[in-house]
A = this chain, B = another copy of it.
Amino acid sequence: MTDPARIPLRVSLRLDLPSGGRVGPGKVALLEAIATDGSISAAARALKMSYTRAWGLVEALDAALGTPVVTRAPGGVKGGGAALTEAGRALVARYRAVEAAAQRRAGPPPG
């Protein structure tokens, strides 16, 4: 395990935007959880973060991209839901594609 050319590595990626915004694994996982769970509060619970923090991350992403990443449906009996905008989906897809390319180059990650 001491040959750095062969040691298994897990890639962790951050994308730096021209706006100064940064997109890393935490924000991407949050967007994916919002897409899965259909609400920011459920996604926050799933990731064990406060709603305030989750909302702050979404706002940081909106600001970084200059366009909303999450759309909120009108409230109703069950309250309003949330979904990714097309921009949000495109950001997640691009992050995961770049991450996969990097991990492929690095080789299989640690067990």
Q: What residues of chain A have their CB less than 8 Å away from a CB belonging to chain B?
A: 1-5, 7-19, 22, 65-67, 69, 87-88, 90-91, 93-94, 97-99, 101-102, 104-106, 110-111
B9 and A15 contact, CB distance less than 8 A:
yes
* A40, chain B: closest CB distance, angstroms: 19
One complex includes copies of this chain to the number of 2
Contacts of A102 in B (CB 8 A): 11, 13, 98-99, 101-102, 105
Which secondary structure characterizes the binding site on chain A? Answer: mixed
**Which residue of chain B has the shortest Cβ distance to A87 in the bound complex?**
B4
A13 and B12 contact, CB distance less than 8 A: yes
Q: Which of A4, A5, A19 has the most CB of B within 10 A?
A: A4
